[in-house]
């Protein structure tokens, strides 16, 4: 019998969960191509090392944007590479696959994701919404009549959903997530310090100094880039509170969307959320103080899931096992 695998086809990273083995692959969603020969040179981690450092004829491409496929051929090449890596590890060919997508995707985007998974070696391909599988991966019982709420902050989108009896009751998907925070940081550094930094540097700053709430004793780090006036290399020192100011508006947008979802719930469902709280998952859950910020803004308890980066892939695999075994 074919194994079931769950794929978190993320804007920033692709994670693959294999039944009985857990997460077996976690690599950046990047493909490096030689534009002259129209040939794929590297995929995943190897390609990510080339971002912002390539000569003119080599381009590092992110084939997913805002949680959906922006370059079909590159997505297929990337998935095929990852699936062949799994086969090399002995995973059975043509497995049943569940791929995840944001809640606001169009029918055309749905078909593109399914087709990419089929062409890259999947057998029967299912597509499910990210917050639903994230909730399963976080250990929530979404099949009970008691409502659960999840905020899944990924790379391209933040998906907010309330689930009950195995389905989404209310949801919202917004393009304020990890990539937006990276752009906020790069733009803020350029505007306030006259320094241009690359995408990878901005992401490193977010990981090291990112915080959703002001800090009394902020950590510092040196950041190198290109002076916007002289064009010469320059180094500045940033701290956590500078980065909080840079990303504040985007984080506030996530809280506003969560508030909107909560405001549309029936009273019984609202009472469930007050009792059970909200589960925060995805890479954004690792941002310092994000749970406290959301709890203060929404006046509802907010908990970070145990392994926020793995929840979508793990949940996809578990939900697919549930479907295929007719549990």
Is residue 90 scored above 70 in pLDDT? no
Q: Which residues are annotated as a binding site for ATP?
A: 11-13, 155-157, 203-206, 283-286
Shared domain for 121 and 204, answered yes or no, is no
d(CA 220, CA 242): 10
Q: What is the mean pLDDT of residues 146-174?
A: 94
Look at residue 304 in the predicted model and tell me its pLDDT: 97
Apex 242 CA angle, 283 and 254, nearest 5: 40
CATH number for the domain spanning 234: value is 3.30.420.40
Which of these ranges, 4-18, 78-92, 189-203, 297-311, has the smallest mean pLDDT?
Answer: 78-92
DSSP state for residue 264 in the 8-state scheme: T
Shared domain for 291 and 149, answered yes or no, is yes
Look at residue 102 in the predicted model and tell me its pLDDT: 86
Shared domain for 161 and 88, answered yes or no, is no
Shared domain for 194 and 263, answered yes or no, is yes
Shared domain for 153 and 176, answered yes or no, is yes
Q: Which residues are annotated as a binding site?
A: 11-13, 155-157, 203-206, 283-286
Shared domain for 169 and 295, answered yes or no, is yes
Is residue 2 scored above 70 in pLDDT? no
Shared domain for 247 and 274, answered yes or no, is yes
Shared domain for 100 and 155, answered yes or no, is no
Shared domain for 266 and 299, answered yes or no, is yes
Is residue 172 scored above 70 in pLDDT? yes
The model scores a pTM over 0.85: yes
Shared domain for 91 and 62, answered yes or no, is yes
Query: Would you call 304 helix, strand, or coil by DSSP?
Result: strand
Is residue 122 scored above 90 in pLDDT? no
Number of domains into which the chain is organized: 2
Shared domain for 126 and 163, answered yes or no, is no
Residue 43 domain boundaries:
4-132+311-324
If pLDDT is split at 50, 70 and 90, which confidence band does 224 have?
A: very high
* Average pLDDT score over the chain: 91
Is residue 89 scored above 60 in pLDDT? no
Shared domain for 85 and 154, answered yes or no, is no
């Amino acid at each position: 019998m074919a194994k079931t695998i769950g794929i978190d086809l993320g804007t920033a990273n692709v994670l693959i969960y294999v039944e009985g083995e857990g997460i077996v692959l976690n690599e950046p969603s990047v493909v490096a191509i030689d534009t002259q020969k129209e040939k794929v040179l590297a995929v995943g981690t190897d390609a990510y090392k080339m971002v912002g450092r390539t000569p003119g004829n080599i381009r590092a491409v992110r084939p997913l944007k805002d949680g959906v496929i922006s370059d079909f051929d590159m997505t297929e090449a990337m998935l095929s590479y990852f699936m062949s890596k799994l086969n090399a590890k002995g995973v059975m060919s043509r497995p049943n696959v569940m791929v995840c997508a944001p809640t606001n995707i169009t029918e055309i985007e749905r078909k593109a994701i399914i087709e990419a998974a089929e062409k890259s070696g999947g057998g029967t391909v299912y597509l499910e919404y990210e917050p639903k599988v994230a909730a399963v991966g976080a250990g929530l019982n979404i099949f009970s009549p008691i409502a659960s709420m999840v905020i899944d902050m990924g790379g391209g989108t933040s998906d907010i959903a309330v689930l009950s009896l195995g389905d989404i009751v209310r949801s919202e998907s917004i393009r304020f997530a990890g990539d937006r925070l990276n752009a906020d940081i790069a733009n803020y550094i350029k505007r306030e310090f006259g320094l241009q930094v690359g995408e990878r540097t901005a992401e490193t700053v977010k990981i090291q100094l990112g915080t959703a709430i002001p800090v009394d004793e902020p950590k510092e780090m040196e950041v190198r880039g290109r002076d916007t006036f002289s064009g010469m290399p320059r180094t500045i020192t940033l701290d956590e509170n500078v980065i909080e100011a840079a990303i504040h508006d985007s984080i506030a947008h996530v809280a506003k969307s969560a508030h909107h979802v909560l405001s549309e719930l029936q009273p019984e469902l609202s009472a469930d959320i007050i009792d059970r709280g909200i589960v925060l998952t995805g890479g954004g859950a690792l941002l310092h103080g994000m749970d406290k910020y959301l709890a203060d803004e929404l006046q509802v308890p907010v908990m970070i899931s145990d392994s926020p980066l793995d929840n979508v892939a793990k949940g996809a695999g578990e939900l697919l096992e549930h479907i295929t075994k007719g549990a």
